[in-house]
Amino acid sequence: MVELPIAGAKERPSKKPDWLRVKLPIGPEFKKVRELVDTYKLHTICQSGSCPNMGECWGAGTATFMILGNICTRSCSFCAVKTGKPTEYDIEEPGRVAEAVKLMQVKHAVITSVNRDELADRGAEVWYQTIHQIKLLSPNTTIESLIPDVKGNWEALERMISAGQEIVSHNMETVQRLYRLVRPQAKYDRSLEQTKRTKAFGKRTKSGIMVGLGETNEEVLKTMDDLVAHGCDVLTIGQYLQPTKMHLDVAEFIHPDTFAFYKEEGLRRGFDYVESGPLVRSSYHAERHLIPTK
Protein backbone atom coordinates (compact mmCIF):
# COMPACT_ATOMS: atom_id res chain seq x y z
CA MET A 1 0.00 0.00 0.00
CA VAL A 2 1.37 3.40 -1.02
CA GLU A 3 1.56 5.90 1.83
CA LEU A 4 -0.19 9.01 0.55
CA PRO A 5 0.33 12.59 1.72
CA ILE A 6 -2.52 14.49 3.30
CA ALA A 7 -4.42 16.25 0.52
CA GLY A 8 -5.95 19.04 2.60
CA ALA A 9 -9.12 19.89 4.50
CA LYS A 10 -12.05 17.51 3.93
CA GLU A 11 -14.74 20.05 4.76
CA ARG A 12 -15.89 22.38 2.00
CA PRO A 13 -13.24 25.13 1.88
CA SER A 14 -14.37 28.68 2.57
CA LYS A 15 -11.68 30.58 0.63
CA LYS A 16 -8.75 30.04 -1.69
CA PRO A 17 -5.38 29.35 -0.07
CA ASP A 18 -2.40 31.59 -0.76
CA TRP A 19 -0.89 29.22 -3.33
CA LEU A 20 -3.83 29.87 -5.69
CA ARG A 21 -3.36 33.62 -5.91
CA VAL A 22 -2.40 34.92 -9.37
CA LYS A 23 -1.22 38.26 -10.73
CA LEU A 24 -3.55 40.46 -12.74
CA PRO A 25 -2.79 40.46 -16.50
CA ILE A 26 -0.76 43.51 -17.46
CA GLY A 27 2.06 44.57 -19.76
CA PRO A 28 2.61 45.39 -23.45
CA GLU A 29 2.66 41.78 -24.67
CA PHE A 30 -0.67 41.07 -22.96
CA LYS A 31 -2.15 44.14 -24.69
CA LYS A 32 -0.70 43.07 -28.05
CA VAL A 33 -2.24 39.59 -27.86
CA ARG A 34 -5.63 40.97 -26.83
CA GLU A 35 -5.60 43.40 -29.76
CA LEU A 36 -4.80 40.62 -32.23
CA VAL A 37 -7.52 38.38 -30.81
CA ASP A 38 -10.05 41.21 -31.09
CA THR A 39 -8.92 42.32 -34.56
CA TYR A 40 -9.22 38.85 -36.07
CA LYS A 41 -12.47 38.08 -34.22
CA LEU A 42 -11.00 35.02 -32.56
CA HIS A 43 -11.95 33.11 -29.43
CA THR A 44 -9.51 31.87 -26.83
CA ILE A 45 -10.04 29.29 -24.11
CA CYS A 46 -7.98 31.66 -21.96
CA GLN A 47 -10.97 34.04 -21.88
CA SER A 48 -13.89 31.63 -22.33
CA GLY A 49 -12.54 29.17 -19.77
CA SER A 50 -11.51 31.85 -17.23
CA CYS A 51 -7.99 30.45 -17.08
CA PRO A 52 -5.99 31.68 -14.05
CA ASN A 53 -2.79 31.73 -16.11
CA MET A 54 -4.05 34.11 -18.79
CA GLY A 55 -1.92 36.98 -17.51
CA GLU A 56 1.28 34.92 -17.52
CA CYS A 57 0.69 33.29 -20.91
CA TRP A 58 -0.57 36.38 -22.72
CA GLY A 59 2.20 38.40 -21.12
CA ALA A 60 4.65 36.00 -22.77
CA GLY A 61 2.95 36.51 -26.14
CA THR A 62 1.14 33.16 -26.33
CA ALA A 63 -2.50 32.10 -26.30
CA THR A 64 -4.62 29.01 -26.81
CA PHE A 65 -7.04 29.59 -29.68
CA MET A 66 -10.54 28.12 -29.53
CA ILE A 67 -12.10 27.38 -32.90
CA LEU A 68 -15.65 26.53 -34.04
CA GLY A 69 -17.25 29.34 -32.05
CA ASN A 70 -17.60 29.90 -28.31
CA ILE A 71 -20.86 28.04 -27.61
CA CYS A 72 -20.57 24.37 -26.69
CA THR A 73 -23.20 21.68 -27.21
CA ARG A 74 -22.17 20.03 -23.93
CA SER A 75 -23.17 21.11 -20.43
CA CYS A 76 -20.21 19.97 -18.33
CA SER A 77 -20.68 21.07 -14.74
CA PHE A 78 -17.11 22.34 -14.30
CA CYS A 79 -16.65 24.42 -17.45
CA ALA A 80 -17.03 28.18 -17.89
CA VAL A 81 -17.55 27.99 -21.67
CA LYS A 82 -21.09 28.92 -22.72
CA THR A 83 -23.43 26.03 -23.48
CA GLY A 84 -26.33 26.03 -25.89
CA LYS A 85 -27.13 25.78 -29.61
CA PRO A 86 -24.14 27.04 -31.61
CA THR A 87 -24.79 29.45 -34.44
CA GLU A 88 -21.25 29.93 -35.71
CA TYR A 89 -19.63 27.80 -38.36
CA ASP A 90 -17.16 30.08 -40.05
CA ILE A 91 -15.26 28.49 -42.95
CA GLU A 92 -12.89 31.49 -43.01
CA GLU A 93 -11.87 31.04 -39.38
CA PRO A 94 -8.87 28.76 -40.12
CA GLY A 95 -7.26 31.48 -42.24
CA ARG A 96 -7.74 34.12 -39.54
CA VAL A 97 -6.23 31.89 -36.88
CA ALA A 98 -3.26 31.10 -39.12
CA GLU A 99 -2.68 34.80 -39.83
CA ALA A 100 -2.81 35.66 -36.12
CA VAL A 101 -0.32 32.91 -35.28
CA LYS A 102 2.02 34.28 -37.93
CA LEU A 103 1.69 37.88 -36.72
CA MET A 104 2.31 36.82 -33.12
CA GLN A 105 5.36 34.83 -34.25
CA VAL A 106 4.18 31.95 -32.10
CA LYS A 107 6.74 29.18 -31.70
CA HIS A 108 4.25 26.68 -30.27
CA ALA A 109 0.52 27.09 -30.83
CA VAL A 110 -2.28 25.33 -28.95
CA ILE A 111 -5.61 24.96 -30.72
CA THR A 112 -8.75 23.75 -28.99
CA SER A 113 -12.49 23.90 -29.69
CA VAL A 114 -15.92 23.64 -28.21
CA ASN A 115 -17.87 20.40 -28.73
CA ARG A 116 -19.96 20.51 -31.90
CA ASP A 117 -22.05 17.37 -31.47
CA GLU A 118 -24.68 18.68 -33.89
CA LEU A 119 -22.22 18.48 -36.80
CA ALA A 120 -21.90 15.14 -38.59
CA ASP A 121 -18.11 15.47 -38.72
CA ARG A 122 -17.87 17.09 -35.23
CA GLY A 123 -16.15 20.05 -36.93
CA ALA A 124 -13.29 17.87 -38.21
CA GLU A 125 -12.87 19.73 -41.51
CA VAL A 126 -12.45 23.11 -39.78
CA TRP A 127 -9.99 21.42 -37.44
CA TYR A 128 -7.98 20.04 -40.36
CA GLN A 129 -7.95 23.32 -42.28
CA THR A 130 -6.89 25.33 -39.21
CA ILE A 131 -3.82 23.18 -38.57
CA HIS A 132 -3.03 22.92 -42.28
CA GLN A 133 -3.14 26.69 -42.83
CA ILE A 134 -1.04 27.43 -39.73
CA LYS A 135 1.60 25.05 -41.09
CA LEU A 136 1.49 26.74 -44.52
CA LEU A 137 2.02 30.24 -43.10
CA SER A 138 4.27 29.28 -40.18
CA PRO A 139 6.05 26.03 -41.08
CA ASN A 140 8.39 26.25 -38.10
CA THR A 141 5.56 26.60 -35.57
CA THR A 142 4.83 23.43 -33.62
CA ILE A 143 1.21 22.71 -32.79
CA GLU A 144 -0.80 20.98 -30.10
CA SER A 145 -4.42 20.09 -30.82
CA LEU A 146 -6.57 19.89 -27.70
CA ILE A 147 -9.54 18.07 -29.21
CA PRO A 148 -12.97 17.32 -27.75
CA ASP A 149 -14.78 14.01 -27.43
CA VAL A 150 -15.86 12.93 -30.93
CA LYS A 151 -18.55 10.58 -29.52
CA GLY A 152 -16.94 7.58 -31.17
CA ASN A 153 -16.76 9.11 -34.66
CA TRP A 154 -13.30 7.72 -35.34
CA GLU A 155 -13.31 8.89 -38.95
CA ALA A 156 -13.72 12.46 -37.70
CA LEU A 157 -10.93 11.90 -35.19
CA GLU A 158 -8.55 10.78 -37.93
CA ARG A 159 -9.31 13.86 -39.99
CA MET A 160 -8.74 16.14 -36.99
CA ILE A 161 -5.31 14.74 -36.21
CA SER A 162 -3.93 14.21 -39.72
CA ALA A 163 -2.92 17.77 -40.61
CA GLY A 164 0.61 17.66 -39.20
CA GLN A 165 0.29 18.72 -35.56
CA GLU A 166 3.04 17.43 -33.29
CA ILE A 167 0.95 16.57 -30.22
CA VAL A 168 -2.72 15.66 -29.71
CA SER A 169 -4.43 16.15 -26.37
CA HIS A 170 -7.80 14.96 -25.13
CA ASN A 171 -8.65 15.60 -21.48
CA MET A 172 -10.16 12.97 -19.19
CA GLU A 173 -10.97 15.84 -16.78
CA THR A 174 -11.81 13.63 -13.78
CA VAL A 175 -11.83 10.11 -12.35
CA GLN A 176 -14.25 7.43 -13.53
CA ARG A 177 -16.61 7.57 -10.53
CA LEU A 178 -17.31 11.29 -11.04
CA TYR A 179 -17.91 11.22 -14.79
CA ARG A 180 -21.71 11.41 -14.67
CA LEU A 181 -21.48 14.38 -12.30
CA VAL A 182 -18.67 16.26 -14.02
CA ARG A 183 -19.04 15.21 -17.69
CA PRO A 184 -22.62 13.92 -18.08
CA GLN A 185 -22.45 13.67 -21.89
CA ALA A 186 -19.08 11.95 -22.00
CA LYS A 187 -17.91 8.41 -21.24
CA TYR A 188 -14.73 7.49 -19.38
CA ASP A 189 -13.99 4.42 -21.50
CA ARG A 190 -14.71 6.26 -24.75
CA SER A 191 -12.21 8.99 -23.89
CA LEU A 192 -9.60 6.34 -23.13
CA GLU A 193 -10.34 4.72 -26.49
CA GLN A 194 -9.89 8.08 -28.20
CA THR A 195 -6.41 8.39 -26.68
CA LYS A 196 -5.59 4.82 -27.71
CA ARG A 197 -6.60 5.45 -31.32
CA THR A 198 -4.67 8.72 -31.42
CA LYS A 199 -1.53 6.92 -30.25
CA ALA A 200 -2.07 4.15 -32.82
CA PHE A 201 -2.24 6.89 -35.50
CA GLY A 202 1.32 7.79 -34.55
CA LYS A 203 0.79 10.96 -32.53
CA ARG A 204 2.32 12.06 -29.26
CA THR A 205 -0.59 11.94 -26.83
CA LYS A 206 -1.60 14.03 -23.86
CA SER A 207 -4.44 14.26 -21.35
CA GLY A 208 -5.38 16.29 -18.29
CA ILE A 209 -7.40 15.93 -15.11
CA MET A 210 -8.67 18.26 -12.40
CA VAL A 211 -8.50 17.45 -8.71
CA GLY A 212 -10.45 18.89 -5.82
CA LEU A 213 -13.81 17.57 -7.04
CA GLY A 214 -14.12 14.88 -4.39
CA GLU A 215 -11.92 12.20 -5.90
CA THR A 216 -9.62 10.03 -3.77
CA ASN A 217 -5.88 9.69 -4.20
CA GLU A 218 -6.39 6.05 -5.18
CA GLU A 219 -8.81 7.09 -7.94
CA VAL A 220 -6.29 9.57 -9.33
CA LEU A 221 -3.63 6.86 -9.43
CA LYS A 222 -6.02 4.48 -11.20
CA THR A 223 -6.78 7.12 -13.81
CA MET A 224 -3.04 7.45 -14.38
CA ASP A 225 -2.72 3.69 -14.87
CA ASP A 226 -5.67 3.65 -17.30
CA LEU A 227 -4.19 6.46 -19.39
CA VAL A 228 -0.75 4.86 -19.55
CA ALA A 229 -2.34 1.55 -20.58
CA HIS A 230 -4.06 3.36 -23.46
CA GLY A 231 -0.90 5.03 -24.75
CA CYS A 232 -0.89 8.47 -23.11
CA ASP A 233 2.53 10.16 -23.05
CA VAL A 234 1.87 13.44 -21.18
CA LEU A 235 -0.36 14.21 -18.19
CA THR A 236 -1.40 17.54 -16.67
CA ILE A 237 -2.99 17.80 -13.22
CA GLY A 238 -4.45 21.00 -11.79
CA GLN A 239 -6.80 22.30 -9.13
CA TYR A 240 -10.47 22.63 -10.04
CA LEU A 241 -11.71 26.18 -9.48
CA GLN A 242 -15.43 26.98 -9.55
CA PRO A 243 -16.11 29.37 -12.47
CA THR A 244 -19.48 30.60 -11.14
CA LYS A 245 -21.99 29.75 -8.41
CA MET A 246 -23.89 27.73 -11.03
CA HIS A 247 -21.03 25.25 -11.36
CA LEU A 248 -19.84 22.45 -9.11
CA ASP A 249 -18.50 23.47 -5.71
CA VAL A 250 -14.84 22.93 -4.93
CA ALA A 251 -14.73 19.92 -2.63
CA GLU A 252 -11.14 20.47 -1.55
CA PHE A 253 -8.11 22.64 -2.22
CA ILE A 254 -5.30 20.21 -2.87
CA HIS A 255 -1.98 20.98 -1.18
CA PRO A 256 1.09 21.57 -3.38
CA ASP A 257 2.81 18.60 -1.68
CA THR A 258 0.13 16.30 -3.08
CA PHE A 259 0.63 17.72 -6.56
CA ALA A 260 4.34 16.96 -6.19
CA PHE A 261 3.44 13.42 -5.17
CA TYR A 262 1.20 13.02 -8.22
CA LYS A 263 4.02 14.15 -10.50
CA GLU A 264 6.42 11.64 -8.99
CA GLU A 265 3.85 8.85 -9.23
CA GLY A 266 2.92 9.74 -12.80
CA LEU A 267 6.51 9.52 -13.98
CA ARG A 268 7.00 6.29 -12.08
CA ARG A 269 3.87 4.77 -13.64
CA GLY A 270 4.94 5.44 -17.21
CA PHE A 271 4.20 8.99 -18.41
CA ASP A 272 7.24 10.64 -19.97
CA TYR A 273 6.13 14.14 -18.90
CA VAL A 274 3.90 15.23 -16.02
CA GLU A 275 2.88 18.83 -15.29
CA SER A 276 1.27 18.89 -11.84
CA GLY A 277 0.45 21.91 -9.70
CA PRO A 278 -2.43 23.97 -8.30
CA LEU A 279 -2.55 26.42 -11.24
CA VAL A 280 -1.71 23.94 -13.99
CA ARG A 281 -4.11 23.83 -16.93
CA SER A 282 -3.88 21.66 -20.03
CA SER A 283 -2.07 24.22 -22.18
CA TYR A 284 0.13 25.61 -19.38
CA HIS A 285 3.80 25.31 -20.43
CA ALA A 286 2.53 23.33 -23.44
CA GLU A 287 5.72 23.95 -25.40
CA ARG A 288 7.60 21.83 -22.86
CA HIS A 289 5.38 18.82 -23.51
CA LEU A 290 6.86 18.14 -26.93
CA ILE A 291 9.96 16.53 -25.44
CA PRO A 292 10.04 13.68 -22.89
CA THR A 293 11.73 14.39 -19.56
CA LYS A 294 12.83 10.78 -19.16
pLDDT at 205: 98
40-49, 202-211, 259-268: least confidently modelled range: 40-49
Per residue in 90-117, pLDDT (tens digit) is 889 999 999 988 888 888 889 999 889 9
Question: Mean pLDDT throughout 210-235?
Answer: 98
Domains and CATH numbers, the chain: 18-290 (3.20.20.70)
Percent of the chain with pLDDT over 90: 56
pLDDT band at 273 (very low <50, low <70, confident <90, very high): very high
pLDDT at 40: 55
Question: Mean pLDDT throughout 288-293?
Answer: 84
pLDDT at 128: 97
Decide if pLDDT at 50 tops 90.
no
Percent of the chain with pLDDT over 70: 80
Higher pLDDT, 265 or 69: 265
Q: What is the phi-psi region of residue 232: left when phi exceeds 0, alpha when psi lies from -120 to 50, beta otherwise?
A: beta
CB 44 within 8 A of CB 69: no
Distance of CA 173 to the CA centre of its chain: 9
Question: Mean pLDDT throughout 247-270?
Answer: 96
CB 240 within 8 A of CB 280: no
Per residue in 169-207, pLDDT (tens digit) is 999 999 999 999 999 999 999 999 999 999 999 999 999
DSSP-assigned letters across all residues of 220-283: HHHHHHHHHHTT--EEEEEE---SSTTSPPP-----HHHHHHHHHHHHHHT-SEEEESTT--TT
pLDDT at 77: 82
Cα-based angle 107, 166, 94 (whole degrees, multiple of 5): 70
Residues belonging to the chain? 294
pLDDT at 24: 53
Distance CA 170, CA 174 (A): 12
Question: Mean pLDDT throughout 251-267?
Answer: 97
pLDDT band at 243 (very low <50, low <70, confident <90, very high): confident
pTM higher than 0.85: no
Burial bucket for residue 128 (CB in 10 Å: 0-12, 13-18, 19+) = buried
Decide if pLDDT at 271 tops 80.
yes
Distance CA 80, CA 65 (A): 16
Helix/strand/coil for 106: coil
Higher pLDDT, 126 or 75: 126
Q: Buried b / exposed e across 23-56, counting CB within 10 Å, b at 16+? A: eebeeebbeebbebbeebebbbbbbbbebbbbbb
Contacts of 148 (CB under 8 A, 6+ apart): 74, 112, 113, 114, 115, 116, 122, 170
Distance CA 255, CA 259 (A): 7
Decide if pLDDT at 237 tops 80.
yes
